[in-house]
Structure 1
Amino acid sequence: MAYVIPIACFEARRNDIPLDTRKSMHLKCNTCIFNISDQSFVKYYGINKATFKSVLKAVKPYLRASPISHPIQLAIVLRYLVTGCIELAVAHDYRAKIDSDTLGKILNTFIPVLDGILCQDAISIQMSKHQMLTSSINFLKKYELPRVVACLFGTHVQIKKPLKNCSAFLNKKGFYSLNVMLVCNDNMEIIANDATFPGSCRDSAIWKISRARELLSVTLNGHFILADSNYAQESFVLTPYKSAKVGTYQHTFNAKHTRARIVFERTIGVLKSRFLCLQRCLRYEPSFCCMIVNVCCALHNLRRAPNVTINDDIEFEGDDNGQRDRDEIAQSL
């Protein structure tokens, strides 16, 4: 009889809990997110099941025990990155019903860990001789431009108005943003990125002081990267001719240059369509938004080339800012 009253009280309290809430509590602990088709999994979380398990294994040592299982937490983070919508896509998700505060805590835990672990392994600016050869062959076959191995470009990611130095983040289009520098290869893999600069910074200014420029200037070994007219012509950077007249070799070069730049247009299109958070306004401080961009770039690479590891150094000697090389390429077209 001593146990009747406590059990009765527990049952009474349990019956006061709405059914949806009890189901939600059950889902947090027991739902297996892998009980869906492979196609649905990729659509829902942006990566396949094997990559998901690999990422989970890498981050698990850095996580604390929680009532919500680590797979569910990682799924919640990925679901946010894929949809970019907290309230509709995550907080009301039938797989793990949580409130916005809980989601915020999960993001604050996972994003820095993912940034520290994934980006180092998934984004590498080092290109082996074989990779440069493969990339240059593909650019030559598709766009008739020799010795091109990558493309350089910038894109803006909208953020909320920062509390500090807000004017620096106001871009020329009138909204607050990060100006993200990206370098991609022929396979639309991102080999370098920098999301640390505010929206008011010019593309060329970011590139001029970037670590990527410093490294590529000594490793391309006579190969080139393409960039639009926002950047300056350099010994390893090919930009369009200014005011090229129709019928000249400069005009022909510009036309092929424009066709080849579709690589970076597709890259940013795939990246932002796969992770819709980059199309919406990131409502966090700039430093945290930077980490979100980095994680999205790393996940993008994992989906395109899950097993790439690169480590090969090459030397390069440059001359006259590439003017002679550009002329030779243009005249040979």
Structure 2
Amino acid sequence: MDELMNIPLRENLEVAEINNENCRVPRTPHNPFHGLSEANFIKNFRLSKNLCMFLIETLEPFMRPKRRATDLDIQTRVLVALNFYACGSYQPIIGCSKYLDVSQPSVCRAIKEVTNALNNPEIFNRWVHFPNNFEQLNNVRLNFSQKHGFPGVIGCIDCTHVAIVCPPGHDPEHPEHLYVNRKNYHSINVQLICDANLEIINLNARFPGSTHDAYIWGRSNVQPFLRNLHAAGHRDYFLLGDSDYPLRTWLLILLEENYDPGTPEYNYNTAHKNTRCKIGCCNGVLKNRFRYLLKHRVLHVKPAKACKIINACIVLHNMCIQYNIPVPDDNDMRDVDFGMMAGNADENDNENEGNAYRRINPELAEGRRARRHLILNNFVN
């Protein structure tokens, strides 16, 4: 009789064990704000804890609220995206971290949502903007002058290539061949202008890798702004660029000839190189901080989404610059291709163009005169 009474009890226990096996018990990740030191938090997410909390509060109005118990909260979505930008890989996030235990589809959705939020004009224009009044222009110019002794500079310009996966060959909107750059890999050619603090004050990430730097500059909204500024008589504001760019009064490039040390021309070229190196440093800091932009990572997304990810990383880069967040050390970065290509235009082409077409290209001739005037007034020993 006792054995018969125990049969239903054993059956109920077996059913309970089966139900427990089938029941999904999610693992609760640790909170990185509590479990990581400040240095390790920056290593994993590139932002400090305080700056990350500020970012979450900034993005919250532009992100979807949590609707279900299984939804990722906004904090987790932001941390997932930051870790992905920093590492350039899904692997550290998907089930491999005690701080972010997230499936790959959830990672993809989080990256898309955070990237779109960072591209919102209200956020993007707050963190990436070219000086638009004389107070801002004078502050940038003074900073360059104090740090490098080169008068009049308000920015350094160059382009950098961000590698992308080969676009579909049948895509009429993004033909595959247009994305093959001079080094024979697919990329987005991104124009950057930085200030003396390595903050990016203007960018253009809309052009494929085969596009020449000068072509992108010709379609930049900064060029007409500077042209109008100089036309109004304010000629003490200009950018520094390499020989890929046309010489103008508002964009000065190097003299190509080799000059003897101590000559004004030699002094000008030396000061130009020492000042314009800021843009190379800026690009290195950007890609060292957000490894997803490095050549060997390769953005496995369509060009339009790649452009948005580049914009998002630059917004975060400027945040880090303004809040003095250190760049994580990595000894493996010594031989990395940072995607910048040396100018291949010849200054003699500019000079010959000026001699042959001076009547139809007065801006080039005026640029030559302005550069000469600057050299004689500021670089004579």
Does TM-score exceed 0.5, indicating one fold?
yes
- State the distance in 1 between where 2:228 and 2:322 align: 25
- State the distance in 1 between where 2:12 and 2:298 align: 50
1:43 aligns with 2:88: no
1:87 counterpart residue number:
91
Cα 1:176–1:10 change in 2 (3 A) is farther
Cα 1:291–1:10 change in 2 (3 A) is farther
Cα 1:204–1:38 change in 2 (3 A) is same
Which of 89, 96, 100 is residue 100 of structure 2 equivalent to? 96
1:63 counterpart residue number:
64
AA aligned opposite 1:125: F
Contact 2:118 2:315 (8 Å CA) reproduced: no
AA aligned opposite 1:37: S
1:12 aligns with 2:18: yes
Which of 25, 28, 33 is residue 26 of structure 1 equivalent to? 28
1:268 counterpart residue number:
283
- CA drift of 1:271 comes to 0.4
**Any idea what the Cα deviations from partners look like across 1:95-153, whole Å, max 9, x if unmatched?**
12223222112222221122115312110112443443333233334333111121011
Number of residue pairs matched by the alignment: 315
1:312 counterpart residue number:
none
1:120 counterpart residue number:
125
Contact 2:153 2:238 (8 Å CA) reproduced: yes
Contact 1:158 1:175 (8 Å CA) reproduced: yes
- State the distance in 2 between where 1:134 and 1:202 align: 31
AA aligned opposite 1:238: L
Task: Choose 290-299 or 117-126, whichever is displaced more.
Answer: 117-126
- CA drift of 1:9 comes to 4.5
1:173 aligns with 2:162: no
- CA drift of 1:306 comes to 5.3
1:314 counterpart residue number:
none
- CA drift of 1:38 comes to 2.5
1:227 counterpart residue number:
241
1:299 aligns with 2:316: yes
1:250 counterpart residue number:
265
1:313 counterpart residue number:
none
Task: Choose 38-47 or 256-265, whichever is displaced more.
Answer: 38-47
AA aligned opposite 2:141: S
Task: Choose 189-198 or 103-112, whichever is displaced more.
Answer: 103-112
Contact 1:236 1:321 (8 Å CA) reproduced: no
**Unmatched segments (≥5 aa) in structure 2:** 1-9, 325-362
Which of 157, 160, 163 is residue 155 of structure 1 equivalent to? 160
Poorly superposed stretches of 4+, deviation over 6 Å: 4-8
2:141 counterpart residue number:
136
AA aligned opposite 1:241: L
- State the distance in 2 between where 1:211 and 1:11 align: 67
Cα 1:7–1:148 change in 2 (3 A) is farther
**Unmatched segments (≥5 aa) in structure 1:** 308-317
**Any idea what the Cα deviations from partners look like across 1:229-282, whole Å, max 9, x if unmatched?**
110111211111132433543233112111111111110011000000000201
- State the distance in 2 between where 1:159 and 1:320 align: 39
Contact 1:87 1:100 (8 Å CA) reproduced: no
User: TM-score under structure 2 normalisation?
Assistant: 0.75
Contact 1:233 1:322 (8 Å CA) reproduced: yes
CA RMSD of aligned residues (A): 2.8
Contact 2:93 2:102 (8 Å CA) reproduced: no
AA aligned opposite 1:147: G
- CA drift of 1:196 comes to 0.6
- State the distance in 2 between where 1:197 and 1:5 align: 68
2:337 counterpart residue number:
none
- State the distance in 1 between where 2:248 and 2:101 align: 53
- CA drift of 1:217 comes to 3.0
Map 1:315-330 → 2, pairs under 5 A: 320-330=365-375
**Any idea what the Cα deviations from partners look like across 1:37-69, whole Å, max 9, x if unmatched?**
333222221112232222222322331425222
Contact 1:118 1:295 (8 Å CA) reproduced: no
- State the distance in 2 between where 1:149 and 1:104 align: 38
User: TM-score under structure 1 normalisation?
Assistant: 0.85
- CA drift of 1:12 comes to 3.4
**Any idea what the Cα deviations from partners look like across 1:158-197, whole Å, max 9, x if unmatched?**
0000112010001010100000000111111110001110
Identity across aligned pairs (percent)?
24
AA aligned opposite 1:52: C
- CA drift of 1:291 comes to 0.4
Task: Choose 319-328 or 206-215, whichever is displaced more.
Answer: 319-328
The SS at the match of 1:26 is coil
Which of 50, 53, 72 is residue 76 of structure 2 equivalent to? 72
AA aligned opposite 2:64: L
Task: Choose 269-278 or 106-115, whichever is displaced more.
Answer: 106-115
1:185 counterpart residue number:
195
AA aligned opposite 1:51: L
- State the distance in 2 between where 1:230 and 1:10 align: 73
